[in-house]
């Protein structure tokens, strides 16, 4: 029996979101630098999906690698009850400084799903701690995705990924989501219908409303306008419920501003972060809450405290990576690079949108997307497009018929233009 990496993988590894019977064997990645992933057979692929949306400044960025190495040599991990440490405290202060209003209190966890679970559990206990046991219901938006744990699946059930576990999910009120695109003339009607749905659902029993601000990621890169988020925030807060922004994908510059809530000029009650939090180096999540919410957990007995935690809560390596990544985001030419990517996307999308196969072109910050035709056939077109891109040295992963570019901020303008050229020629043929 051969012991090549692929043989070992085939015998022992189970891959996520993959039908392993029909999928081609995985590529063996051996190195990654900047926007490029290098495979065992010597191919270089430009990562147009930022390795599932986590990478910001490029693979193997030396500043983050050095921060992690230095922290690993000093202290790799310490229990986070009874202890704190410098990277955790400094990263929390950095996040609080960047987020608006009194979003000042950071609870660390392990990934995006747990950041969402924490927000949902904090919302319910917040009202229970205040003696308001009537607020137990959660609302979410149709098509939203919030992760793969049971609470996150429950608020994301309409994304359609969770049929095998329907019986396990708790009931959540679903509100229509006004997905729009460039030149969408019906957007105001869709927003009015969504807000009417929200008004109807917002009773005195609602504890919290969760939304992916500006763009639903896994649900198909479906975008909404900042104006809509403002109207949602007004209604949710007037109804006395908490507003949770799931910024797991939108955080750290993806939509052009450091956070989508800043771009929308909304101060939500909680913000969920992960993916870009460590610059794509380590798995970590954070739930940032407004300080008055945290205050409701202070008291004389343990029962009033938040009895939730993870073995690796506030892992020092993750926090050190987060701090180094935040510094890169705010320093140097990062903001200019983000603006540059958006400008290239806008220019190329405008030309491409004239093609009849391109539906619903849309753009926010560094994320450009469109639908390829209609129906199931469009889904197989997406799969073929992925292969064309691989053949030309790009990693692209359409979501069914939805094609999107979500590159790391370090991508060279010439490489991004080549990606758009590849798209143009593939669609023409």
Ligand X SMILES: *Cc1c(COP(=O)(O)O)cnc(C)c1O
Whose Cβ is closer to ligand X: residue 47's or residue 348's? 47
Which one of residues 50, 71, 111, 422 is an interface residue with ligand X (CB under 6 A)?
A: 111
Considering only residues 47, 212, 269, 371, which one is a binding residue for ligand X as defined by CB under 6 A? 212
Regarding 366 and contact with ligand X (CB under 6 A), the answer is no
Q: b/e map of 204-227 (b: 16 or more CB within 10 Å)? A: eebbbbbbbbbbbbbbbbbbbbbe
Q: Alpha-carbon dihedral of residues 99, 214, 425, 57, nearest 10 degrees? A: 10
Q: Is 113 in the site for ligand X (CB under 6 A)?
A: yes
Tokens representing residue 360 in the block: 């619903």
133/402 Cα distance (integer angstroms): 42
Query: Is 153 or 426 the residue whose CB approaches ligand X more closely?
Result: 153
The yes or no reply on residue 112 touching ligand X (CB under 6 A) is: yes
Q: Which is nearer to ligand X, 146 or 222 (CB)?
A: 146
- In whole angstroms, the minimum distance from the beta carbon of 322 to ligand X comes to 14
Contact status: 71 vs ligand X (CB under 6 A): no
Which residue in 56, 218, 270, 372 binds ligand X (CB under 6 A)? 218
Strand, coil or helix: 31: strand
Task: Tell whether residue 129 is a contact of ligand X (CB under 6 A).
Answer: no
Among 64, 248, 270, 369, binds ligand X (CB under 6 A): 248
**Residue 312 main-chain phi, psi, to 5 deg:** -100, 20
CB of 110 to ligand X, least distance (A): 8
- The nearer residue to ligand X, 220 or 423, going by C-beta atoms, is 220
Helices 316-330/62-74 angle, 10° precision: 150
Burial of 22 from C-beta contacts in 10 A (0-12 / 13-18 / 19+)? exposed
- Site map 131..150 versus ligand X, x via CB under 6 A: --------------xxx---
Distance of CA 391 to the CA centre of its chain: 28
153 binds ligand X (CB under 6 A): no
Distances (CA, A) of 125 to 8, 70, 108, 299: 46, 38, 17, 13
Interaction of residue 36 with ligand X, rule CB under 6 A: no
Using CB under 6 A as the binding rule, whether residue 217 contacts ligand X is answered as yes
Q: Which is nearer to ligand X, 395 or 427 (CB)?
A: 395
CB 157 within 8 A of CB 146: no
User: Which residues here bind ligand X, judged by CB under 6 A?
Assistant: 111-113, 116, 145-147, 212, 217-218, 246, 248-249, 274
């Amino acid at each position: 029996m051969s012991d090549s990496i692929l043989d070992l993988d085939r015998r022992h590894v189970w891959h996520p979101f993959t039908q392993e019977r029909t999928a081609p064997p995985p590529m063996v990645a051996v190195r990654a630098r900047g926007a490029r992933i290098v495979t065992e057979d010597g191919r270089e692929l430009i990562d147009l999906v930022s390795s599932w949306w986590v990478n910001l400044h490029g693979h193997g960025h030396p500043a983050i690698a050095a921060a992690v190495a230095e922290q690993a040599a000093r202290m790799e991990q310490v229990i986070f009850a009874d202890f704190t440490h410098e990277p955790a405290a400094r990263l929390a202060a950095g996040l609080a400084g960047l987020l608006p209003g009194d979003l000042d209190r950071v609870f660390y966890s392990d990934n995006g799903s747990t950041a969402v679970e924490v927000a949902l559990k904090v919302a319910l206990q917040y009202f229970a701690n205040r003696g308001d046991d009537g607020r137990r219901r959660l609302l979410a938006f149709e098509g939203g995705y919030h992760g793969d744990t049971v609470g996150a699946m429950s608020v994301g059930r309409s994304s359609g990924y969770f049929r095998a576990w329907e019986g396990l999910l708790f009931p959540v009120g679903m509100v229509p989501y006004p997905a729009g695109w460039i030149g969408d003339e019906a957007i105001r009607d869709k927003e009015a219908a969504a807000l009417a749905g929200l008004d109807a659902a917002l009773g005195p029993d609602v504890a919290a409303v969760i939304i992916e601000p500006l763009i639903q990621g896994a649900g198909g890169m479906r975008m909404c306008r900042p104006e809509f988020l403002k109207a949602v925030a007004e209604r949710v807060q007037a109804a006395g419920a908490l507003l949770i922004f799931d910024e797991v994908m939108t955080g750290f510059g993806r939509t052009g501003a450091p956070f989508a809530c800043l771009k929308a000029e909304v101060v939500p009650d909680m913000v969920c972060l992960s993916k870009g939090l460590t610059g794509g180096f380590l798995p970590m999540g954070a739930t940032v809450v407004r300080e008055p919410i945290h205050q409701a957990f202070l008291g004389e007995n343990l029962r009033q405290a938040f009895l939730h935690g993870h073995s690796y809560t506030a892992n020092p390596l993750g926090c050190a990576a987060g701090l180094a990544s935040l510094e890169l985001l705010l320093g140097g030419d990062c903001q200019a690079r983000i603006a540059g990517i958006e400008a290239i996307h806008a220019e190329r999308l405008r030309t491409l949108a004239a093609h009849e196969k391109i539906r619903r072109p849309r753009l926010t910050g560094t994320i450009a997307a469109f639908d390829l035709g209609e129906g199931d056939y469009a889904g197989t077109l997406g799969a073929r497009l992925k292969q064309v891109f691989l053949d030309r040295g790009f990693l692209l992963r359409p979501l069914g018929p939805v094609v999107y570019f979500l590159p790391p901020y370090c991508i060279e303008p010439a490489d991004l233009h080549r990606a758009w050229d590849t798209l143009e020629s593939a669609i023409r043929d």
